[in-house]
Structure 1
Amino acid sequence: MQVIDWDLAVATGTRLVRPGPQVSREEAREAVAELRRLSRVAEGHVREFTRIDTETAPQPATIVDRPGWIKANVEGFRVVLEPLTERMAARKGQTPAVVTAVGSRITGVEVGAVLAFLASRVLGQYELFLPPDPSGRAPVGRLTLVAPNIVHAERELGVDPGDFRLWVCLHEETHRVQFTGVPWLRAYVRDQMTEFLLASDLDLPTLLDRLRSAADAVADAVRGGEGNLIDAIQTPEQKEILDRLTAVMTLVEGHGDYVMDAVGPGVVPSVADIRAKFHHRREGGSRLDRTVRKLLGIDLKMKQYAEGSAFVRAVVDRAGMDGFNKVWTSPETLPSQDEISHPERWIARVLDAPALPAAEITD
């Protein structure tokens, strides 16, 4: 059973996405080559600073254009949504075929439109969920950089291209080091996402209620309120799961920002200028752009950068990098949302907790 018409999502997204900046073939080749090189340079800096060891051999980033980013994310969505698809397939007799067919096309168009909006804004990402390779093995992930968006941003900001590209790579490479150096982290995020999806209410009355809530959220956001689609379509159980997901993603995003800013001054000469201009750019945009960002929860992600970075900074200032790295010990040592807002509570729970007595050895 197909919940979303993925082919239509790709077709819609690639049709709607805006073209990238005008560059010559030579400029494009140079940008791609430099981004690949700088991703390797950045990884070395990140590994040394974070002290996170990983057994995964360094790989250059995958460089894509905007349509390529859309296609890659559709592949990831299909992997993430597989548990929900399987569950709905088991219930296919409860839903008329025509409803399923029409619904999958509608959602295909909606997903494509959202991806078209994002595809001109995302600079890079670490793709956690990828389809298995031809051997059937699931890849651990892939670092992807969107070359047209990076070129557009550096031109719009008027910053040094080489410095800006390395600065972006520092943030994204931090995510690769996190998920390859902390073996359980990827599975934890995947399990939480699966739980979130399977906590969905699939009966028609509840679905209609969710749609009404979504419509109210759209109207509220347009009026300048705080409504967003993420809050509108959740069940109570999903809200609890999303709290855990939000906490871990705030941690990894904030860690990426912290590393980027901490390493930056030593290897990116114009980092202060880049950071100031980029922060202003994040908060800008037209009224429509800000409304869409709010609806999609993108403003929440911007908040995550700041809160997560503040948490990391507070812990490192108190306990050093080795003390902070105890956060990666297990799911139990991850901070809650409350602890991210109050780092001293995480420090008290994880770092200052009395050690368990050593087990006695007897004959």
Structure 2
Amino acid sequence: MSLFEGVRAVASASGDSLVDWNAVRDAAKAGTPPGDLTLTAAEREAYAGDVRDARERIREVSTLDFDVPETVSVMNRHHWIDANAGTFERAFRPVNDASASLPGVSRTLNTGGAAAALSFLARNVLGQYDPLLLADGDAHELYFVHPNIVEAAASLDVPLARFRRWIAFHEVTHAAEFGAAPWLADYLEDRLRAGITELEDEYRLDTDEFEEVLLAMTAVEGYAELLMDRAFDREYGDLRRKLDARRRGGGPLTKLFRHLLGLGLKRKQYEQGREFFDAVVDARGIETASLVWNAPENLPRRDELDTPGRWLARVA
């Protein structure tokens, strides 16, 4: 789950008042069982060990220079709600602060809609690399939602240790990207702030700003898929097929939430970004693909995602 998806979920809700984030936390937790977080010392060390292994292996195959958070947070669903509600609250602070002058925003930002979105996501998120956008300081976090990982591994009929390791590798690929591109967090923050400021000024989200966020996140997800294929030390085609089937499953309400939260779009980001980087690597190697993190100008443009040769001609 990305910040962009969460912002869009909040902004697309309807209601009669601005978001009360304390109420969001309370309501989301009330509608979400926290899940069991009983872990032995060996199980906690297994999470940390998978992250260390992922860091070393991804450094080796990507040649990127990066680090991972010193602390790996193994959490339940309520912990995840607290962490992400704080991020969304920071993102929408300008709107909340300007509430007296924004009569139209009450129809856009709704506490109940935000709580429902966080509750749904908290039951489905497995892991998350969080660069803590819009926070003070240069911090980042790595989260694993243990109850969801346990339940997903059981429902997919795969060994828990293997599934947990796969999730760890995927999230560490994101740490690699943000570590290799120290400008990336600021780039996303600036566009999120600009888009939300447009909401304050014009009572609407700036689609141009969010289009740039979407393009950046397509590159982030696609490059992560590229690294996963080269870095993960076990076959995982079956895991991906089973997890994709799980994402497509569920009842009508689950499918509606996925549609409203743009989770199908996230799958498209994976696929489109992956196809782009596959073409770049086939043509010029992974070192050329890694040029995408040298500067914001190197991010692929909309037309270049479908025609990677244009990106190669411009950047490489």
TM normalised by structure 2 equals 0.86
CA contact (8 A) 1:80 1:129 kept: no
Matched, 1:4 2:19: yes
What is the deviation of 1:284? 1.9
Matched, 1:53 2:65: yes
Cα distance, 1:34–1:131 mapped onto 2, change above 3 Å: farther
CA contact (8 A) 1:130 1:139 kept: no
CA contact (8 A) 1:131 1:139 kept: no
State the distance in 1 between where 2:213 and 2:68 align.
28
CA contact (8 A) 1:125 1:172 kept: yes
Cα distance, 1:262–1:285 mapped onto 2, change above 3 Å: farther
Cα distance, 1:145–1:326 mapped onto 2, change above 3 Å: same
Aligned letter for 2:259?
Answer: K
CA contact (8 A) 1:52 1:181 kept: yes
State the distance in 2 between where 1:324 and 1:58 align.
25
State the distance in 1 between where 2:123 and 2:61 align.
31
RMSD (Å), alpha carbons = 2.5
Identity over the aligned pairs, expressed in percent? 32
Structure 1 unaligned residues grouped into runs of 5+: 208-233, 352-363
Aligned letter for 1:143?
Answer: L
2:131 equivalent in structure 1: 128
What is the deviation of 1:304? 0.5
1:189 equivalent in structure 2: 188
Q: 1:82 aligns with which of 93, 101, 104?
A: 93
Query: Number of matched residues?
Result: 299
State the distance in 1 between where 2:87 and 2:23 align.
15
1:149 equivalent in structure 2: 148
1:15 equivalent in structure 2: 30
Q: Which moved more, 1:56-65 or 1:45-54?
A: 56-65
2:50 equivalent in structure 1: 38
State the distance in 2 between where 1:139 and 1:58 align.
11
Misfit runs of 4+, over 4 Å = none
1:248 equivalent in structure 2: 216
Deviations 1:57-99 (A, max 9, x none): 652421111000000001111222234344x16xx3x468xx9
Which secondary structure state, in structure 2, belongs to the residue aligned with residue 199 of structure 1?
helix
Cα distance, 1:151–1:323 mapped onto 2, change above 3 Å: same
TM normalised by structure 1 equals 0.75
1:177 equivalent in structure 2: 176
Bigger CA radius of gyration: 1
What is the deviation of 1:272? 2.5
State the distance in 1 between where 2:58 and 2:18 align.
39
Matched, 1:282 2:247: yes
1:109 equivalent in structure 2: 112
CA contact (8 A) 2:134 2:189 kept: no
State the distance in 2 between where 1:301 and 1:57 align.
23
State the distance in 2 between where 1:119 and 1:178 align.
24
Higher RCO (Cα < 8 Å, 6 or more apart): 2
1:198 equivalent in structure 2: 197
1:273 equivalent in structure 2: 238
CA contact (8 A) 1:32 1:147 kept: no
CA contact (8 A) 2:55 2:68 kept: no
Q: 1:293 aligns with which of 246, 258, 264?
A: 258
CA contact (8 A) 1:124 1:144 kept: yes
Q: 2:287 aligns with which of 312, 315, 322?
A: 322
CA contact (8 A) 1:31 1:147 kept: no
What is the deviation of 1:29? 5.4
1:67 equivalent in structure 2: 78
Residues 205-216 of structure 1 mapped to structure 2, 5 A cutoff: none
Structure 2 unaligned residues grouped into runs of 5+: 1-16
Which secondary structure state, in structure 2, belongs to the residue aligned with residue 143 of structure 1?
strand
What is the deviation of 1:331? 1.0
State the distance in 1 between where 2:276 and 2:134 align.
34
CA contact (8 A) 1:130 1:138 kept: no
Aligned letter for 2:110?
Answer: T
Which secondary structure state, in structure 2, belongs to the residue aligned with residue 45 of structure 1?
helix
CA contact (8 A) 1:18 1:116 kept: no
CA contact (8 A) 1:76 1:127 kept: no
CA contact (8 A) 1:243 1:337 kept: no
State the distance in 1 between where 2:102 and 2:307 align.
47
State the distance in 2 between where 1:5 and 1:286 align.
30
Q: 2:121 aligns with which of 114, 118, 123?
A: 118
